[in-house]
């Protein structure tokens, strides 16, 4: 036994204590990965074939092995704190020199770049103005602070229910005389007791019999319905659905009277002229907001005229007609001229703008989800595809690394995507300190990809990965290393005793 073995043992135990002490010191360092000292024995070079007589000359530390196991993840709800759940490293740029880290504590610098505490820039995939991410290569991620431009509304989409039991919006019916002996009944002898025609828009013809004077009459509706009765002057004649007409005078044989519906003149300022209305804000090319009002007027069973205009102003024009079947389903739409619309269940319209934006502004009203059931008029859904200019209010980091910005106008947009790097041999990385590693020939080249792809972990925004140091195990290891140091010191002391014995001979 000589001093060499003991000295190497002391050096090894001291290095082990250093590694353990470093682990304990970094028990609260975000993203820290604990190390373990690995040792190898040493032998003097053998001479000739006397290999069986070799005596070891001590130990040496072969490497400090990093343990890259997952640390626990703690939520802190800070937008730019990001934890890696699984395999991978953040790629950081130090003035173009690339390093890698598991520490996801980031912040914005004065130029909007995402940086760590040492000012290194986080690398990832950039997004263009339309939110399309370019994965061709990584660049320093920068959060844009400029307003997003407005988008003019092009389409309004409405899902409504129009009450099938709403009264028709019709004015006082027109009455005309025909047949023979028309002089026996005069306009002055006609009164209509139901001016709105109830829920029917039929044209009725009252035909009198052949007696002198005739006492029988027949009412025939344009829908094919008919009813007969006995005529008496100044007595009501039933037309249909509670409608009555009163005639004075004596008819001649074969006389006829025709009662035809008359539409009310639509007036957006008079709710008596329409059945239901709703409105939606729309945006012009400058992001200015104005209101579009829509009105629905029931003109016959299953038929509704549709009007639209800006801010309830006059004129508000008819843009078409919606037709429903007997089950309450929308079956067709006609334009203002009565022709089928170019797109089924959609009306084209325009509104004027006066703020310097493009005018007139063309809009399309889609009502494909509209029904006509016997329940209350109402709006089930109402959306439009425009928005005003918006300021960035906050952003989040998704599991796939996408940085999504939330804007004051309610819009969201992809601002970029964090990339992750993996290595064939993580223990080949050089530890630079400050939670930074550098690639080497031993580690292999970095494989860059989006989080969640093959062999790449996912991200958790608003969270950090804790150190993976197990303090309990490290304290036990500390005791073991201390005992090793003491034992190696004892071998030196023993050798010293042997040497003293020889000196005393």
Angle at 193 between CA 187 and CA 195, to 5 degrees: 90
Is the dihedral angle over the CA atoms 40, 45, 50, 56 positive or is it negative?
negative
CATH code: domain of residue 283: 2.60.98.20
Residues 305 and 160 both lie in one domain: yes
Q: What is the pLDDT of residues 488-497, one digit of tens each?
A: 888 888 888 8
**Alpha-carbon torsion, ordered 224, 230, 235, 241, to 10 deg:** -30
Same domain, 52 and 91: no
CA separation for the pair 99, 106 (Å, rounded)? 15
- pLDDT exceeding 70 applies to what percent of the chain? 93
60: confidence class by pLDDT, cuts 50, 70, 90: confident
User: At which residue do the structure tokens 């945006």 appear?
Assistant: 283
Q: Is the pLDDT of residue 48 over 80?
A: no
Distance CA 13, CA 482 (A): 7
**Same-domain pairing of 160 and 87:** no
Whether 234 has a pLDDT exceeding 90, the answer reads no
pLDDT per residue as tens digits for the range 177-186: 887 766 666 6
**Residue 53 and residue 79 in one domain:** no
Q: pTM above the 0.75 mark?
A: no
Task: For 279-304, give the DSSP string.
Answer: EEEEE-TT--EEEEEEEEEEEETTEE
160 and 293 together in one domain: yes
As for how many domains the chain has, the answer is 4
Q: Are residues 161 and 277 in the same domain?
A: yes
Decide if pLDDT at 315 tops 80. Answer: no
Write the DSSP assignment of 49-91 as a string of letters: T-GGG--EEEEEEEEEEE--PPPPEEE---TTBEEEESS-EEE
**What average pLDDT does the structure give for the chain?**
88
Domain boundary among 241, 263, 285: 263
pLDDT for 51 beyond 80: no
Tell me the torsion sign for CA atoms 382, 387, 392, 395. Answer: positive
Beta-bridged to residue 279, according to DSSP, are: 293
Q: Which domain holds residue 230?
A: 170-263
Clarify whether residues 331 and 374 are in a common domain.
yes
Q: Longest Cα pair distance anywhere in the chain, in angstroms?
A: 169
């Amino acid at each position: 036994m000589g001093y060499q073995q003991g000295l190497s043992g002391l050096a090894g135990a001291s290095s082990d204590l250093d590694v353990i002490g470093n682990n304990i010191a970094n028990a609260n360092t975000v993203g820290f990965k604990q190390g373990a000292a690995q040792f190898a024995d040493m032998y003097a070079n053998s001479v000739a074939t006397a290999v069986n007589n070799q005596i070891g000359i001590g130990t040496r530390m072969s490497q400090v092995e990093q343990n890259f196991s997952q640390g626990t993840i703690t939520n802190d709800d800070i937008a730019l704190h990001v934890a890696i759940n699984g395999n991978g490293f953040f790629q950081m740029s130090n003035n173009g020199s690339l390093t890698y880290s598991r520490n996801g504590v980031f912040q914005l610098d004065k130029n909007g770049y995402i940086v760590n505490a040492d000012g290194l820039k986080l690398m990832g995939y950039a997004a263009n103005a339309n939110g399309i991410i370019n994965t061709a290569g990584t660049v320093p991620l920068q959060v844009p602070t400029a307003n997003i431009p407005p988008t003019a509304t092009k389409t309004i989409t409405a899902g409504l229910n129009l009450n099938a039991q709403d009264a028709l919006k019709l004015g006082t019916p027109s009455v005309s005389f025909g047949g023979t002996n028309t002089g026996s009944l005069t306009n002055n002898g006609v009164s209509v007791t139901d001016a709105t025609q109830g829920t029917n828009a039929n044209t009725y013809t009252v035909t009198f019999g052949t007696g002198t004077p005739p006492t029988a009459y027949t009412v025939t509706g344009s829908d094919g319905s008919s009813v007969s009765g006995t005529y008496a002057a100044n007595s009501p004649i039933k037309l249909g659905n509670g409608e009555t007409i009163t005639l004075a005078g004596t008819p001649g044989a074969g006389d006829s009277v025709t009662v035809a519906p008359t539409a009310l003149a639509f007036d957006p300022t008079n709710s008596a002229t329409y059945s239901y209305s709703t409105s939606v804000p729309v945006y012009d090319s400058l992001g200015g907001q104005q209101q579009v009002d829509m009105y629905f007027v029931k003109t016959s069973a299953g038929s509704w005229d549709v009007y639209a205009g800006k801010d309830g102003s006059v004129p508000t024009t008819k843009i078409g007609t919606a037709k429903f079947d007997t089950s309450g389903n929308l079956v067709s739409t006609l334009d203002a001229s009565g022709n089928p619309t170019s797109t089924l269940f959609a009306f084209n319209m325009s509104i004027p703008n006066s703020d310097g934006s493009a005018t007139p502004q063309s809009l399309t009203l889609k009502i494909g989800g509209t029904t006509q059931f016997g329940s209350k008029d109402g709006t089930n859904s109402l959306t439009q595809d425009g928005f005003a200019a918006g300021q960035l209010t906050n952003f989040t980091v998704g599991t796939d690394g996408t940085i999504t910005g939330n804007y004051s106008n309610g819009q969201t947009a992809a601002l970029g995507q964090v990339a992750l790097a993996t290595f064939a041999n993580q223990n080949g990385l050089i530890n630079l300190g400050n939670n930074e590693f550098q690639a080497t020939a031993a580690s292999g080249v970095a494989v860059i990809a989006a989080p969640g792809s093959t062999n790449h972990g996912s991200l958790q925004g608003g969270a950090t990965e804790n150190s993976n140091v197990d303090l309990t195990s490290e304290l036990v290891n500390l005791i073991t290393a201390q005992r090793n140091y003491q034992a190696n010191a004892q071998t030196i002391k023993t050798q010293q005793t042997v040497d003293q014995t020889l000196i005393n001979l």
